[in-house]
């Protein structure tokens, strides 16, 4: 050591204090190790030196930092001797000082000592929390007795402090890494959640879950399936629904509950990691290096299985892979349930639509003949009728009309829901359609002595839609205004521009109005207000729900403004510009 000799002890302590105080300046491990090595060279005045740390997992010694020795030298044969010194210090948990390694009978047995001209050597274990975590080595190849016992004492004192700082930095690095990994996993899981919840298609949900599981565990392939019960045999089995990977598992493969690995998962409710997988153990019947079978659970019940395989890797799945796939399985379970429920609802809806389609069709045929014969009788073609007979037949006719409206509405809904309602889109002037509908409803309006005003400014642009369907919308709204407005009421149909690309059609009345609560349900099927004035009128509560679908299918919107007791205004919009790609035949 090159300290002045005035008060060597004091000088040493001052130097130790000075270098030790630097240790607290960083928690970055590589930076700290460099700092420690610089301090050691400064303290000991050694020619060269290095520091090794024991790997927490493998127990192997790894070079942390070195001074005046390149990495190759440390790894190479020339270090055989220093390695054995280091190993000795670590194993014995004792510092080592030698003035001349070539003459030291602890080391002279090594043939290489002479070859590598090692003379002065100092080495001390790094101890933290009562455990050896590595060692510091310094040497001087040319000088004998370059280090004195005081130097070793100084090195030891410093090494103890350095070891604590290194251990802290390592712990910090570990927690930091663990935290980073957790944050990364949470971000991935959040993305998975989004993707899973976006889809209501069962197969897509299963594919997504499997895809993410394979991707994030670096598996070579895998399968995902759901538990089902064989109704006839009353036996549970796993139905594989999606499989990926080179083993090419058969899609829609059926795995009996007694399969050794599946049985283990079912019994324990936990994932099973198998290595050197035989075809009997493999869920997909293909031998593999490793297999990870993780249950998908919903409210404690196993509803399915995610199975991953590794064919080439010698590295098996880790505990982290298992934990990740379990978390992924939990999340998939929710999406799987949702898509199953959705599929059940879809199936019920399809059955309902099929039923309505048959019923409406079958009812139409007899009703046409009832109407024909009733009209024949009412027209007195079959002989004169007395007053009572005419009255009865008129009642039959009115009820037929009622039934007809119901059947027409039901089959409209059916056609809209099954996508069979065709829209013949074109430009047409609204005015003609409004006039047509008004004249059709004239009789009903006059019967209640109501006044109807049509207000359409001149020069309105033609609208783009299906003329017949727009007529149907208008008929519904005006006939509601007529039904729900007392005698001598006022009805108005007003057409105005609605921004540059649409027109708004308002059907206004000064009738019974609609409460705020009822307004919230207006466009849902079978909704009818409880009000007496409504119940006295014939209706099924289907008109507005159809109207809304018709308007939206033509690119418009519909809404209602109403004050109970004062009246209601229903407004719907229609585009005046064809959507991109369509040509306007009239412009």
CB 169 within 8 A of CB 32: yes
CA distance 556 to 441: 24
How far is the C-alpha of 418 from the C-alpha of 410, rounded, in Å?
A: 12
Instruction: Describe the strand order of the beta sheet including 96-98 as a list of residue ranges.
Output: 61-67, 48-54, 131-140, 120-128, 96-98
**Nearest one of 489, 523, 526, 507 to 568, comparing CA atoms:** 507
Asked if residue 262 binds ligand ADP (CB under 6 A), the reply is no
Which is closer to ligand ADP, CB of 321 or CB of 509?
Answer: 509
- In the bound state, the residue with its beta carbon closest to ligand ADP is 539
Q: How far apart are CA 286 and CA 274, in angstroms?
A: 13
CB of 346 to ligand ADP, least distance (A): 25
- Report how many residues bind ligand ADP under the rule CB under 6 A: 20
Contact flag: residue 392 with ligand ADP (CB under 6 A): no
Of residues 304 and 539, the one with the C-beta less far from ligand ADP = 539
Residue pair 273/316 in contact by the 8 Å Cβ criterion: yes
- As to burial, measured by CB atoms within 10 angstroms (0-12 exposed, 13-18 middle, 19+ buried), residue 299 is exposed
Give 182's strand partners: none
- C-beta closer to ligand ADP: residue 4 or 536: 536
Contact 490, 453 (CB under 8 A): yes
Nearest distance from C-beta of residue 344 to ligand ADP, angstroms: 28
Q: Based on the shown chain and the rule CB under 6 A, indicate whether residue 541 belongs to the binding site for ligand ADP.
A: yes
**What is the x/- site pattern for ligand ADP, positions 447-476, by CB under 6 A?**
-----------------------------x
Q: What DSSP character marks residue 123?
A: E
Residues 554-583 that bind ligand ADP (CB under 6 A): 568
Question: Is position 539 an interface residue for ligand ADP (rule: CB under 6 A)?
Answer: yes
Q: Does residue 550 belong to the site contacting ligand ADP (CB under 6 A)?
A: no
Among the listed ranges 243-251, 334-342, 365-373, 527-535, the one in contact with ligand ADP (CB under 6 A) is 527-535
CB of 481 to ligand ADP, least distance (A): 5
- Is residue 308 a contact residue for ligand ADP (CB under 6 A)? no
Shortest Å distance, C-beta 509 to ligand ADP:
5
Q: Would you count residue 528 as binding ligand ADP (CB under 6 A)?
A: yes
- Give the interface segment with ligand ADP, choosing from 33-41, 345-353, 450-458, 507-515 (CB under 6 A): 507-515
Q: How far apart are CA 562 and CA 142, in angstroms?
A: 103
Q: Which residue in 223, 529, 554, 573 binds ligand ADP (CB under 6 A)? A: 529
Q: Which residue in the set 265, 433, 481, 558 belongs to the binding site for ligand ADP (CB under 6 A)? A: 481
Distance CA 143, CA 46 (A): 10
The closest of 162, 140, 157 to 9, measured between CA atoms, is 157
Contact (Cβ atoms closer than 8 angstroms) between residue 430 and residue 423: no
- Sort 463 into a burial class: Cβ within 10 Å, 0-12 / 13-18 / 19+: buried
- Return all residues near 369 (Cβ < 8 A) that are at least 6 apart: none
Nearer Cβ to ligand ADP, position 214 or 542? 542
- The rounded radius of gyration (Å) of the Cα atoms in the chain is 44
| Binding-site member from 542, 550, 558, 576 for ligand ADP (CB under 6 A) | 542
Binding range to ligand ADP, per CB under 6 A, among 32-40, 66-74, 249-257, 504-512: 504-512
Residues at the site binding ligand ADP, with contacts judged by CB under 6 A = 476, 480-481, 484, 509, 511-512, 514, 522, 527-529, 534, 539-544, 568
């Amino acid at each position: 050591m090159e300290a002045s000799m005035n008060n060597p002890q004091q000088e040493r302590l001052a130097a130790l204090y000075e270098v030790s105080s630097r240790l607290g300046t960083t928690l970055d491990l590589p930076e700290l190790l460099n700092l420690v090595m610089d301090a050691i060279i400064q303290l000991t005045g050694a020619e060269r030196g290095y520091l090794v740390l024991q790997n927490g997992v493998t127990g192997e010694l790894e070079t942390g930092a070195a001074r005046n020795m390149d990495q190759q030298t440390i790894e190479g044969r020339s270090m055989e001797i220093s390695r054995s010194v280091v190993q000795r210090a670590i194993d014995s948990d004792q510092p080592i000082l030698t003035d001349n390694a070539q003459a030291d009978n602890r080391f002279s047995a090594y043939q290489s000592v002479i070859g590598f001209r090692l003379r002065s050597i100092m080495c001390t274990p790094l101890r933290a929390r009562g455990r050896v975590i590595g060692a510091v080595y310094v040497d001087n190849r040319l000088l004998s007795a370059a280090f004195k016992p005081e130097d070793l004492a100084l090195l030891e004192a410093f090494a103890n402090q350095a070891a604590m700082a290194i251990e802290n930095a390592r712990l910090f690095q570990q927690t930091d890494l663990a935290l980073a990994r957790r944050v990364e996993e949470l971000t991935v899981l959040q993305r998975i959640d989004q993707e899973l919840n976006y889809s209501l298609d069962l197969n897509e949900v299963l594919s997504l879950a499997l895809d993410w599981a394979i991707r994030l565990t670096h598996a070579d392939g895998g399968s995902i399936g759901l538990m089902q019960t064989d109704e006839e045999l009353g036996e549970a089995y796993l139905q594989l629904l999606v499989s990926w990977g080179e083993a090419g598992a058969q899609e829609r493969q059926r795995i009996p509950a007694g399969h050794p690995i599946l049985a283990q998962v079912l019994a324990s409710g936990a994932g099973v990691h198998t290595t050197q997988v035989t075809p009997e153990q493999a869920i997909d019947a293909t031998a593999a290096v490793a297999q990870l079978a993780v249950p998908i659970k919903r409210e404690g019940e196993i509803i399915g299985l995610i199975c991953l395989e590794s064919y080439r890797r010698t590295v098996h799945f880790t505990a982290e892979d298992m934990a990740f796939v379990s978390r992924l399985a939990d999340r998939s379970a929710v999406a799987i349930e949702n898509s199953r429920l959705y599929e059940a609802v879809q199936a019920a809806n399809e059955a309902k639509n099929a039923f309505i389609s048959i019923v409406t069709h079958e009812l139409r045929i007899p009703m046409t003949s009832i109407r024909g014969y009733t009209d024949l009788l009412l027209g007195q073609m079959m002989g004169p009728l007395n007053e009572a007979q005419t009255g009865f037949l008129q009642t039959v006719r009115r009820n037929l009309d009622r039934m007809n409206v119901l059947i027409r509405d039901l089959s409209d809904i059916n056609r809209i829901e099954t996508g069979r309602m065709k829209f013949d889109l074109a430009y047409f002037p609204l005015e003609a359609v409004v006039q047509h509908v008004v004249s059709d409803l004239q009789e009903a309006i006059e019967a209640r002595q109501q006044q109807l005003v049509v207000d359409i400014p001149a020069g309105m642009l033609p609208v783009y839609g299906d003329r017949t369907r727009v007529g149907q919308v208008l008929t519904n709204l005006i006939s509601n205004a007529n039904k729900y407005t007392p005698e001598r009421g006022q009805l108005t149909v007003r057409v105005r521009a609605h921004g540059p690309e649409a027109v708004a059609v308002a059907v206004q009345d000064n009738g019974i109005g609609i409460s705020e609560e009822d307004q919230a349900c207006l466009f849902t099927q079978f909704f009818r207000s409880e009000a007496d004035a409504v119940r006295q009128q014939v209706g099924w509560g289907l008109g507005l729900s159809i109207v809304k679908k018709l308007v939206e299918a033509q690119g418009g919107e519909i809404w209602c403004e109403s004050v109970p007791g004062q009246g209601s205004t229903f407004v719907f919009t229609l585009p005046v510009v064809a959507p991109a790609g369509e040509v306007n035949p009239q412009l």
